[in-house]
Chains A and B, each alone.
Chain A
């Protein structure tokens, strides 16, 4: 019973956290739009006035120039209207005068290189700008991962059309937007690994661990409560993404939405247990978090998150089977487009067996280290 309360209040806190809201809801929703729209000329975005953004184009820096190109794509232009200026001060002047909403500055000297300065006040515009920049970062990371894994022509495959992807003999197939709605939803579920990594650590961070320990709770009540809370949070995120994309973007989620939700639950359980287990095995949640966020990108990539599976090299196709994202995507594709029932069953079973084994391992390890 107390585990249920721990779960409920954990989810309540996560759902309200502003940082989580942008990374787990706004980001995937905008990414679906960008990736989907980039690949499908027929898709139109209405009722959104582009946000005015200034890019400081001060040198020939490679990252700056590729960002410049990225922002000038037709589809991005529909949500962001970029003006370039030669220097930072000139740009800031325009922001102050209200001529633009945000200024993007690529610094050459330090680590977190892309800096975004936003006028305060408008959360919607602010998250559009942030999400576009984040998605640029992510696709840059993904391209990097792809080239590391031996992918050849990044550009063509990246913006390639996916209409060849055909699932069943009737030739029913997903539009680009439908496809990326699935992969981004799955990616969001997999980002649950980072929630999982911090699940126990956040109680240490907020110092509330001492209250949990001083109440007469058993370790398993805390453990189950935390894990369930994170799964619940992810399921809420999934519902919002599915409903939003269904009604606003008109994404095809098939006739059996409860089954799509069940697939999300399955992936959420897997991600949470993978996160908890990684953090316990590594013994340091920050290292685990860094590892997992990179891993999610690689897994998303391998799972056809950015480049459709069929346009991958044959080595990559084999590697795809290691990605839970790929299994999740296959399950959804098969379910929505009336594909193979046996593939659905087998992949589901693999995901559940993996999750439960990870959970058992972490429960035992956790009991030892927290006792």
Chain B
């Protein structure tokens, strides 16, 4: 385990921001922390890496106790803070260079690393520009570059895509995928379930300071679904086809209305291929097909009775 947190509690006065959470992260894992605004994600992260003091809890990182070895451990962590943390009166290059120096990088190694992360975040051409003239998306990317310059063993990204244009967002998502493929260990927090779903191998859902569910994407979805629904529109109707589908393995029900067939399969059976094959064999044309798999939004809704987004707009 790269990181192990046990019974972590953090209060702000009367607010219990982190309510007795435990979790652990394996090397090479992208650990998603999903939850609405105010769930306690940022507080949890800040406490884990020693930016804030915990009220209670054990934190072990790289097999060492954070309480005793904080300054040793911190050298190998890279944080992308939720709020953009860069200096407007320095250039992109100087920003990364400064933070690199705080991790003891110097000389040609520093130079190479700064160029490397600017290239990685697509800012190499703008390296000499002042950050005060950057767009929101460029600042977000530089915010990431500053965290990577010392090649941390554990990367923490706290809502790295908030408030930017779709192009920059895609660039960031692609960068995280690249890091994942290179074997980085990442904690990724977000209130966008699409991002967490795309990127993370293991997900913890947080609400009101607690982790209310955890597991792989599939495990979490299985948790809420009973059945999978496929709605198929055909060019014409063919009752032998309907009967064939009804008798297929794992199909619970099949109903027809006009040219539309609705098939209900047992959960987690991935029956789609079989159904499509069956239609093709029957000589019918598929006009449209909708397969309703549950997403993490549904998971959150089932667990809390609220949607992630509702919470976001009212927060």
Contacts and interface: CB of A to CB of B under 8 A. Distances in A.
Contact of B99 (A12, A207, A211): A211
Contacts of A209: 85
Contacts of A287: none
Interface string A198-227: 000000001111111111110000000000
B71 A216 contact: yes
> Taking each of B77, B88, B89, which has the highest tally of chain A beta carbons within 10 Å of its own beta carbon?
B89
B99 A215 contact: yes
Contact of A210 (B51, B70, B87): B51
Contacts of B51: 210, 213-214
Interface string B51-81: 1000000000000000000111011010101
Nearest to B74: A216
Contact of A211 (B71, B72, B85, B90): B85
Nearest to B77: A214
Interface residues on B, range: 20 to 34
A12 B90 contact: yes
A13 B87 contact: yes
Interface in A1-24: 2, 5, 9, 12-14, 16-17
B98 interface: yes
B49 A211 contact: no
- Give the residue among B71, B72, B75, B101 with the most A Cβ atoms within 10 A: B101
Interface string B27-66: 0000000000000000000100111000000000000000
Contacts of A212: 102
A208 B101 contact: no
**Main SS at interface, chain A:** helix
Contacts of B71: 216
A9 B84 contact: no
B60 to A, nearest CB: 17
A215 B103 contact: yes
B83 interface: yes
A16 B102 CA distance: 22
Between B51, B75, B84, B94, the greatest number of chain A beta carbons within 10 A of the residue's beta carbon is seen for B51
Contact of B90 (A9, A207, A217): A9
Contacts of A211: 79, 81, 85, 99, 102, 146
Contacts of B70: 216
Interface in B83-141: 83-90, 94, 98-99, 101-103
A41 B79 CA distance: 62
B50 to A, nearest CB: 7
A215 B74 contact: yes
Q: What 5 A-B pairs come out closest when comparing CB atoms?
A: A216-B71, A207-B85, A13-B89, A215-B102, A216-B74
Interface of B: 46, 49-51, 70-72, 74-75, 77, 79, 81, 83-90, 94, 98-99, 101-103, 146
18 contacts: A2-B101, A5-B98, A13-B90, A207-B81, A208-B86, A209-B85, A210-B81, A210-B85, A211-B79, A211-B99, A211-B102, A213-B51, A214-B79, A215-B102, A216-B70, A216-B74, A216-B75, A217-B102
